[in-house]
Chains A and B, each alone.
Chain A
Amino acid sequence: MTWLEASALGHVMRESGVWTYGVVNLIHILGVATLFGSVLVLDLRLLGAWRKIPLLAISEPTVPMATAGFTVAMASGMCLLATKATEYTGNPFLYLKFLAIALGILNVFALNFLPGWKAKETRDLSLREQSQLALAGGISLFCWLMAITCGRMIGYW
């Protein structure tokens, strides 16, 4: 945290005008909104909503959108944290948020290994495969909701 605050990024964030933090904060929210909006649609589909729409038709736009949103949120989030990193030491919401993000990312990798996720491009899924995907979707929804909730609460600790 000390290192992050003392980094060039921290200096730029603190010394480049009174609106810098606000604008970066806005970019962070746009990134989070893009990530969560995409993830929400995909996860609800994995959980069994809109089953008339093929999974592939939903995963195709939502996965790259979620990746883009995550990248923007991650980059802007590092900037926000670097501004006064040491002030967040001991803030439980920050640690919980990072934990939720780590689990969310692990879940993405797990989902990629599920047979149903690969098979969706070539055939209809068995009930078992659908259940596995539904579980991954539920975990995903939980992780990202946790990440957003904890993120919002950091400032109120």
Chain B
Amino acid sequence: MYLRLSFRIVAVLTLAGVLTIPALAHHGWAGNSDEEMELTGTVQKGVSLAGPHATMKILAKGQVWDVTLAPPARTDQAGLKEGLIPVGATVTVHGHRNRDSKRLEIKTERVTWNGRTFDVYPDRK
């Protein structure tokens, strides 16, 4: 009887725990502002195609920004290879800023450099 009861309690708690997970999880772009943002700066750290997202760092308005790109394979497919854009080059990134205003991070849809545009998220405007 005692065991049956404790089994039921754990089952209910487990179910409750599992059901709250989707409510907590925010996917993809929800952690970023809806507002479109464009930032021009110089490359501090070139493109890295390491997972889970490709990244680069740029110096803009006197501050270093984390530029989050698409996942590695998709960024690579957009033509944005490692070492292509040299450190110090001027680039413009277009995307959405992190909702946390203390974080200098921009989740990026496209990067423009030297007259070329790399659409890492071509299906987003």
Beta-carbon contact of B7 and A48 below 8 Å: yes
Which stretch from A55-63, A107-115, A149-157 is at the chain B interface? A149-157
Also in contact, A22 and B7, with CB within 8 A (given A156-B25, A156-B31) = no
Also in contact, A13 and B50, with CB within 8 A (given A22-B71, A48-B7, A138-B10) = yes
Query: Chain A: how many interface residues by the 8 Å CB criterion?
Result: 30
Beta-carbon contact of B17 and A21 below 8 Å: no
Shortest B74–chain A CB gap in Å is 8
Shortest A29–chain B CB gap in Å is 13
With A and B bound together, what is the CA distance between A64 and B72 in angstroms?
35
Also in contact, A156 and B26, with CB within 8 A (given A84-B50, A138-B10) = yes
With A and B bound together, what is the CA distance between A44 and B14 in angstroms?
11
Secondary structure type dominating chain B contacts: helix
B48 contacts A by Cβ under 8 Å: yes
Chain A minimum-CB-distance residue to B66: A87
Chain B minimum-CB-distance residue to A148: B21
Question: Which A residues touch B72, using CB under 8 A?
Answer: 18-19, 21-22
Interface positions, chain B 74-117, Cβ under 8 Å from A, are 75-76
Beta-carbon contact of A155 and B52 below 8 Å: yes
Contact string against A for B residues 49-78, beta-carbon threshold 8 Å, 1 for contact and 0 otherwise: 111100000000000000000011101100
Interface positions, chain A 19-50, Cβ under 8 Å from B, are 19-22, 24-25, 44, 47-49
Beta-carbon contact of B51 and A22 below 8 Å: yes
Shortest A23–chain B CB gap in Å is 10
B10, B14, B52, B75: most-surrounded residue (chain A CB, <10 A): B10
Contact string against A for B residues 12-54, beta-carbon threshold 8 Å, 1 for contact and 0 otherwise: 0010010001001111000100000000000000001111100
Question: Which B residues touch A18, using CB under 8 A?
Answer: 49, 72-73, 75-76
What are the 5 A-B residue pairs with the smallest beta carbon separation, nearest first? A21-B51, A48-B3, A14-B50, A18-B72, A18-B73
Q: A18-B76, A141-B10, A152-B25 are in contact. List 15 more A-B contacts (CB 8 A).
A: A13-B50, A14-B49, A14-B50, A19-B73, A21-B50, A21-B72, A25-B51, A47-B6, A80-B51, A83-B50, A131-B3, A134-B7, A141-B14, A145-B14, A156-B26
